[in-house]
Structure 1
Amino acid sequence: DVVINNAGRSIRRPIDESYDRFHDFTRTIDVNYLGPVRLLLTLLPGMRERGRGHIVNISTWGVRMPPAPRWSAYGASKGAFDIWLRTVATEIAADGVTTTSIYMPLVHTRMSAPTDFSGIPGLTADEAANLVCHAVVTRPIEISPWWTGAVQAWTDLRRGAAQRFMERSAGRRSGE
Protein backbone atom coordinates (compact mmCIF):
# COMPACT_ATOMS: atom_id res chain seq x y z
CA ASP A 1 0.00 0.00 0.00
CA VAL A 2 1.27 3.45 -0.91
CA VAL A 3 -0.35 6.75 -0.01
CA ILE A 4 0.92 9.92 -1.64
CA ASN A 5 -0.23 13.06 0.12
CA ASN A 6 0.01 15.96 -2.27
CA ALA A 7 -2.51 18.16 -0.49
CA GLY A 8 -1.80 21.73 -1.31
CA ARG A 9 -3.77 24.87 -0.88
CA SER A 10 -1.45 27.81 -1.14
CA ILE A 11 -2.23 31.28 0.03
CA ARG A 12 0.12 34.24 0.22
CA ARG A 13 -1.25 37.30 1.92
CA PRO A 14 0.06 39.89 4.39
CA ILE A 15 -1.39 39.60 7.87
CA ASP A 16 -2.90 43.09 7.70
CA GLU A 17 -5.02 41.93 4.77
CA SER A 18 -6.07 38.78 6.65
CA TYR A 19 -7.75 40.19 9.76
CA ASP A 20 -11.25 39.62 8.38
CA ARG A 21 -10.37 36.49 6.39
CA PHE A 22 -10.28 33.75 9.03
CA HIS A 23 -11.95 31.46 6.48
CA ASP A 24 -8.70 31.46 4.47
CA PHE A 25 -6.90 29.93 7.43
CA THR A 26 -9.57 27.30 8.09
CA ARG A 27 -9.72 26.29 4.43
CA THR A 28 -5.95 26.01 4.23
CA ILE A 29 -5.75 23.95 7.43
CA ASP A 30 -8.63 21.73 6.22
CA VAL A 31 -6.87 20.89 2.95
CA ASN A 32 -3.22 20.77 4.02
CA TYR A 33 -3.54 19.27 7.51
CA LEU A 34 -6.93 17.95 8.59
CA GLY A 35 -7.79 16.24 5.28
CA PRO A 36 -4.59 14.16 5.16
CA VAL A 37 -4.89 13.34 8.88
CA ARG A 38 -8.45 12.09 8.40
CA LEU A 39 -7.47 10.01 5.38
CA LEU A 40 -4.54 8.40 7.17
CA LEU A 41 -6.56 7.71 10.32
CA THR A 42 -8.81 5.67 8.04
CA LEU A 43 -6.03 3.88 6.11
CA LEU A 44 -3.43 3.28 8.83
CA PRO A 45 -5.23 0.47 10.69
CA GLY A 46 -5.27 -1.71 7.55
CA MET A 47 -1.68 -0.87 6.64
CA ARG A 48 -0.50 -1.75 10.15
CA GLU A 49 -2.56 -4.94 10.22
CA ARG A 50 -1.03 -6.11 6.91
CA GLY A 51 2.43 -5.13 8.16
CA ARG A 52 3.35 -3.01 5.18
CA GLY A 53 2.76 0.33 3.56
CA HIS A 54 4.47 3.54 2.66
CA ILE A 55 3.28 7.13 3.06
CA VAL A 56 4.85 9.89 0.98
CA ASN A 57 4.12 13.44 2.07
CA ILE A 58 4.77 16.28 -0.34
CA SER A 59 5.73 19.07 2.02
CA THR A 60 7.57 22.28 1.23
CA TRP A 61 11.13 23.39 1.70
CA GLY A 62 9.57 26.32 3.55
CA VAL A 63 8.95 24.05 6.55
CA ARG A 64 12.73 23.83 6.99
CA MET A 65 13.37 27.56 6.52
CA PRO A 66 12.85 30.62 8.71
CA PRO A 67 9.18 31.66 8.62
CA ALA A 68 8.61 33.75 5.50
CA PRO A 69 6.46 36.88 5.41
CA ARG A 70 2.98 36.49 3.91
CA TRP A 71 2.94 32.68 4.15
CA SER A 72 1.47 32.25 7.66
CA ALA A 73 -1.55 30.13 6.70
CA TYR A 74 0.31 27.93 4.24
CA GLY A 75 3.43 27.48 6.38
CA ALA A 76 1.48 26.68 9.52
CA SER A 77 -0.72 24.11 7.78
CA LYS A 78 2.17 22.35 6.04
CA GLY A 79 4.23 22.45 9.23
CA ALA A 80 1.37 20.96 11.24
CA PHE A 81 1.06 17.94 8.96
CA ASP A 82 4.83 17.53 8.76
CA ILE A 83 5.08 17.29 12.56
CA TRP A 84 2.03 15.02 12.74
CA LEU A 85 3.39 12.57 10.17
CA ARG A 86 6.91 12.49 11.61
CA THR A 87 5.42 11.82 15.05
CA VAL A 88 3.14 9.07 13.74
CA ALA A 89 6.10 7.55 11.85
CA THR A 90 7.74 6.75 15.20
CA GLU A 91 4.67 4.72 16.19
CA ILE A 92 4.00 2.83 12.96
CA ALA A 93 7.55 1.84 11.99
CA ALA A 94 7.46 -1.31 14.13
CA ASP A 95 4.40 -2.43 12.15
CA GLY A 96 6.21 -2.20 8.80
CA VAL A 97 4.73 1.11 7.67
CA THR A 98 7.29 3.66 6.49
CA THR A 99 7.13 7.34 5.59
CA THR A 100 8.98 9.76 3.35
CA SER A 101 8.73 13.52 3.68
CA ILE A 102 9.63 15.38 0.52
CA TYR A 103 10.53 19.00 1.26
CA MET A 104 9.78 20.08 -2.27
CA PRO A 105 11.46 23.16 -3.65
CA LEU A 106 9.51 25.55 -5.84
CA VAL A 107 7.56 23.73 -8.55
CA HIS A 108 6.29 25.89 -11.38
CA THR A 109 2.58 24.98 -11.57
CA ARG A 110 -0.78 26.70 -11.83
CA MET A 111 -0.88 26.84 -8.03
CA SER A 112 2.42 28.72 -7.81
CA ALA A 113 1.65 30.94 -10.81
CA PRO A 114 -0.29 33.68 -8.94
CA THR A 115 2.87 34.49 -6.97
CA ASP A 116 5.46 35.97 -9.28
CA PHE A 117 8.26 33.42 -9.15
CA SER A 118 9.48 34.27 -12.64
CA GLY A 119 13.24 34.09 -12.84
CA ILE A 120 13.44 31.94 -9.70
CA PRO A 121 14.78 28.44 -10.31
CA GLY A 122 12.28 25.69 -9.73
CA LEU A 123 11.24 22.25 -10.82
CA THR A 124 8.85 21.34 -13.58
CA ALA A 125 5.87 19.16 -12.70
CA ASP A 126 7.64 16.21 -14.36
CA GLU A 127 10.79 16.74 -12.29
CA ALA A 128 8.68 16.89 -9.12
CA ALA A 129 6.89 13.69 -10.17
CA ASN A 130 10.27 11.98 -10.58
CA LEU A 131 11.12 12.85 -6.96
CA VAL A 132 7.84 11.30 -5.84
CA CYS A 133 8.53 8.14 -7.85
CA HIS A 134 12.00 7.97 -6.30
CA ALA A 135 10.42 8.21 -2.83
CA VAL A 136 7.98 5.40 -3.59
CA VAL A 137 10.71 3.08 -4.86
CA THR A 138 13.60 3.79 -2.47
CA ARG A 139 11.62 4.88 0.63
CA PRO A 140 14.08 7.32 2.18
CA ILE A 141 12.96 9.07 5.36
CA GLU A 142 13.24 12.43 3.65
CA ILE A 143 14.12 14.14 0.41
CA SER A 144 15.14 17.76 0.67
CA PRO A 145 17.12 20.27 -1.36
CA TRP A 146 20.78 19.97 -0.37
CA TRP A 147 20.95 23.49 1.04
CA THR A 148 18.01 23.26 3.45
CA GLY A 149 20.00 21.43 6.13
CA ALA A 150 22.54 24.23 6.43
CA VAL A 151 19.87 26.94 6.44
CA GLN A 152 17.82 25.06 9.03
CA ALA A 153 20.89 24.61 11.25
CA TRP A 154 21.69 28.34 10.95
CA THR A 155 18.07 29.18 11.78
CA ASP A 156 18.09 26.90 14.83
CA LEU A 157 21.39 28.31 16.09
CA ARG A 158 20.67 31.93 15.22
CA ARG A 159 16.90 32.29 15.44
CA GLY A 160 17.08 36.02 16.22
CA ALA A 161 19.34 36.74 13.25
CA ALA A 162 17.15 34.65 10.95
CA GLN A 163 14.00 36.42 12.10
CA ARG A 164 15.55 39.87 11.70
CA PHE A 165 16.63 38.89 8.18
CA MET A 166 13.07 37.87 7.28
CA GLU A 167 11.68 41.04 8.92
CA ARG A 168 13.95 43.19 6.77
CA SER A 169 12.92 41.16 3.74
CA ALA A 170 9.23 41.79 4.51
CA GLY A 171 9.87 45.53 4.87
CA ARG A 172 11.59 45.75 1.48
CA ARG A 173 8.79 43.89 -0.25
CA SER A 174 6.08 46.11 1.19
CA GLY A 175 7.88 49.25 0.10
CA GLU A 176 9.06 50.32 3.57
Structure 2
Amino acid sequence: MNLDPYLASVLADLDRATALADEQTRAVAAKVATAVEPALRLALVHALSDAAANVTSELTDAAVVVRMEGRDPVLAVHRTEAVPPAPPTPPAPPIPPHEPLAADSDDGETARVTVRLPQALKGQLDRLAAEAEVSLNTWIVQTLRRAISTVPSGTITPTIHSARRVTGWA
Protein backbone atom coordinates (compact mmCIF):
# COMPACT_ATOMS: atom_id res chain seq x y z
CA MET A 1 0.00 0.00 0.00
CA ASN A 2 1.58 3.22 -1.14
CA LEU A 3 1.37 5.76 1.70
CA ASP A 4 2.61 8.67 -0.44
CA PRO A 5 -0.87 9.93 -1.50
CA TYR A 6 -1.98 10.09 2.14
CA LEU A 7 1.17 11.91 3.19
CA ALA A 8 0.85 14.28 0.23
CA SER A 9 -2.73 15.04 1.34
CA VAL A 10 -1.53 15.99 4.83
CA LEU A 11 1.23 18.17 3.37
CA ALA A 12 -1.25 19.85 1.00
CA ASP A 13 -3.55 20.57 3.94
CA LEU A 14 -0.63 22.14 5.80
CA ASP A 15 0.22 24.21 2.73
CA ARG A 16 -3.40 25.43 2.49
CA ALA A 17 -3.42 26.21 6.22
CA THR A 18 -0.40 28.48 5.82
CA ALA A 19 -1.46 30.01 2.48
CA LEU A 20 -2.15 33.41 4.02
CA ALA A 21 1.02 33.44 6.12
CA ASP A 22 4.19 35.27 5.19
CA GLU A 23 6.94 33.52 3.20
CA GLN A 24 9.10 32.88 6.27
CA THR A 25 6.23 31.11 8.09
CA ARG A 26 5.45 29.05 4.97
CA ALA A 27 9.13 28.07 4.67
CA VAL A 28 9.21 26.97 8.32
CA ALA A 29 5.98 24.98 7.82
CA ALA A 30 7.49 23.24 4.77
CA LYS A 31 10.61 22.32 6.76
CA VAL A 32 8.49 21.00 9.64
CA ALA A 33 6.41 18.96 7.19
CA THR A 34 9.56 17.39 5.77
CA ALA A 35 10.85 16.63 9.26
CA VAL A 36 7.66 14.94 10.46
CA GLU A 37 7.06 12.84 7.31
CA PRO A 38 8.79 9.73 8.77
CA ALA A 39 6.74 10.02 11.97
CA LEU A 40 3.53 10.36 9.94
CA ARG A 41 4.49 7.29 7.86
CA LEU A 42 5.13 5.28 11.05
CA ALA A 43 1.83 6.42 12.58
CA LEU A 44 -0.02 5.28 9.45
CA VAL A 45 1.70 1.88 9.60
CA HIS A 46 0.73 1.54 13.28
CA ALA A 47 -2.86 2.44 12.42
CA LEU A 48 -2.89 -0.21 9.69
CA SER A 49 -1.42 -2.79 12.09
CA ASP A 50 -4.03 -1.99 14.73
CA ALA A 51 -6.81 -2.19 12.13
CA ALA A 52 -5.48 -5.55 10.90
CA ALA A 53 -5.41 -6.86 14.48
CA ASN A 54 -9.00 -5.69 15.07
CA VAL A 55 -10.23 -7.31 11.85
CA THR A 56 -8.33 -10.53 12.65
CA SER A 57 -9.95 -10.71 16.09
CA GLU A 58 -13.35 -10.80 14.36
CA LEU A 59 -12.38 -13.56 11.92
CA THR A 60 -12.42 -17.26 12.73
CA ASP A 61 -10.76 -18.69 9.62
CA ALA A 62 -8.31 -15.99 8.54
CA ALA A 63 -5.73 -13.53 9.79
CA VAL A 64 -5.00 -10.10 8.36
CA VAL A 65 -1.29 -9.36 8.48
CA VAL A 66 0.79 -6.30 7.73
CA ARG A 67 4.31 -6.74 6.43
CA MET A 68 6.70 -4.15 5.11
CA GLU A 69 8.10 -4.14 1.59
CA GLY A 70 10.65 -1.36 1.59
CA ARG A 71 8.90 1.68 3.01
CA ASP A 72 5.41 0.50 2.14
CA PRO A 73 3.11 -1.71 4.22
CA VAL A 74 1.42 -4.64 2.50
CA LEU A 75 -1.85 -6.02 3.85
CA ALA A 76 -2.50 -9.71 3.29
CA VAL A 77 -5.19 -12.16 4.35
CA HIS A 78 -4.01 -15.61 5.37
CA ARG A 79 -6.61 -18.35 5.57
CA THR A 80 -6.30 -20.76 8.46
CA GLU A 81 -7.65 -24.27 8.70
CA ALA A 82 -11.05 -24.42 10.23
CA VAL A 83 -10.82 -26.29 13.51
CA PRO A 84 -13.90 -28.34 14.38
CA PRO A 85 -15.55 -27.00 17.51
CA ALA A 86 -14.58 -28.76 20.71
CA PRO A 87 -17.32 -30.33 22.79
CA PRO A 88 -18.62 -27.97 25.46
CA THR A 89 -16.77 -28.10 28.74
CA PRO A 90 -18.22 -27.27 32.12
CA PRO A 91 -17.64 -23.66 33.15
CA ALA A 92 -14.42 -23.06 35.04
CA PRO A 93 -14.49 -21.42 38.46
CA PRO A 94 -13.89 -17.67 38.38
CA ILE A 95 -10.27 -16.58 38.35
CA PRO A 96 -9.23 -14.78 41.53
CA PRO A 97 -7.94 -11.24 40.90
CA HIS A 98 -4.32 -12.13 41.72
CA GLU A 99 -4.04 -14.83 39.00
CA PRO A 100 -3.25 -13.92 35.38
CA LEU A 101 -5.82 -14.34 32.63
CA ALA A 102 -5.70 -17.58 30.67
CA ALA A 103 -3.95 -17.63 27.30
CA ASP A 104 -7.19 -18.04 25.39
CA SER A 105 -9.02 -15.15 27.07
CA ASP A 106 -9.56 -12.26 24.73
CA ASP A 107 -11.42 -9.23 25.99
CA GLY A 108 -11.12 -7.59 22.57
CA GLU A 109 -8.76 -4.92 23.82
CA THR A 110 -5.07 -4.65 23.09
CA ALA A 111 -2.19 -3.34 25.17
CA ARG A 112 1.11 -1.95 23.99
CA VAL A 113 4.28 -3.42 25.53
CA THR A 114 7.82 -2.28 24.85
CA VAL A 115 10.46 -5.00 24.95
CA ARG A 116 14.17 -4.36 24.47
CA LEU A 117 15.75 -7.17 22.46
CA PRO A 118 19.32 -7.75 21.36
CA GLN A 119 19.55 -6.79 17.67
CA ALA A 120 20.63 -10.31 16.69
CA LEU A 121 17.58 -11.84 18.41
CA LYS A 122 15.24 -9.33 16.75
CA GLY A 123 16.75 -10.25 13.40
CA GLN A 124 16.05 -13.93 14.04
CA LEU A 125 12.46 -13.13 15.10
CA ASP A 126 11.95 -10.99 11.99
CA ARG A 127 13.16 -13.92 9.86
CA LEU A 128 10.80 -16.38 11.60
CA ALA A 129 7.85 -13.99 11.19
CA ALA A 130 8.68 -13.51 7.51
CA GLU A 131 8.86 -17.29 7.01
CA ALA A 132 5.42 -17.58 8.63
CA GLU A 133 4.24 -14.71 6.38
CA VAL A 134 2.96 -12.68 9.33
CA SER A 135 4.02 -9.46 10.98
CA LEU A 136 6.49 -9.65 13.86
CA ASN A 137 3.75 -8.50 16.26
CA THR A 138 1.38 -11.26 15.09
CA TRP A 139 4.13 -13.87 15.32
CA ILE A 140 5.03 -12.83 18.88
CA VAL A 141 1.37 -12.84 20.03
CA GLN A 142 0.79 -16.29 18.50
CA THR A 143 3.99 -17.66 20.07
CA LEU A 144 3.11 -16.26 23.50
CA ARG A 145 -0.39 -17.72 23.29
CA ARG A 146 1.03 -21.15 22.43
CA ALA A 147 3.57 -20.89 25.25
CA ILE A 148 0.96 -19.95 27.85
CA SER A 149 -1.44 -22.66 26.73
CA THR A 150 1.24 -25.33 27.35
CA VAL A 151 2.29 -24.11 30.81
CA PRO A 152 0.32 -25.59 33.71
CA SER A 153 -1.15 -22.92 35.99
CA GLY A 154 1.13 -21.79 38.79
CA THR A 155 4.43 -23.13 37.36
CA ILE A 156 5.98 -19.78 36.54
CA THR A 157 7.88 -18.63 39.59
CA PRO A 158 9.91 -15.46 39.10
CA THR A 159 13.13 -15.00 41.04
CA ILE A 160 13.99 -11.48 42.15
CA HIS A 161 17.66 -10.66 41.55
CA SER A 162 17.54 -6.97 42.35
CA ALA A 163 15.03 -4.30 43.26
CA ARG A 164 14.74 -3.30 39.57
CA ARG A 165 14.73 -6.62 37.72
CA VAL A 166 12.60 -9.76 37.87
CA THR A 167 13.62 -12.90 36.01
CA GLY A 168 12.56 -16.51 36.11
CA TRP A 169 11.93 -19.73 34.25
CA ALA A 170 8.74 -21.56 33.43
What TM-score does the superposition give when structure 1 sets the normalisation length? 0.24
What TM-score does the superposition give when structure 2 sets the normalisation length? 0.25
Larger Rg: 2
